[in-house]
Amino acid sequence: MLGKFFQKPEADQSDRVPPGQYLTKGFPVLTYGDTPKVSTAEWKLKVWGLATPKTYTWDEMMSLPISEFHLDFHCVTRWSRLDMDWTGIKVTDFLSTIELDSKVTHVMQHSYGGYTTNLTLDEFARMIIFLV
What is the average per-residue pLDDT within 82-108? 96
Q: pLDDT tens-digit profile of 15-69? A: 899 999 999 888 887 777 788 889 999 999 999 999 999 999 999 999 999 999 9
Q: Where are the domains of the chain?
A: 2-7+21-28+42-131
The pLDDT value recorded for residue 15 is 85
CA distance 51 to 34: 32
pLDDT at 2 over 60: no
Give the CATH number of domain 2-7+21-28+42-131.
3.90.420.10
Q: Name beta bridge partners: 57.
A: 44
**CA separation, residue 121 to residues 100, 101, 107 (Å):** 10, 12, 6
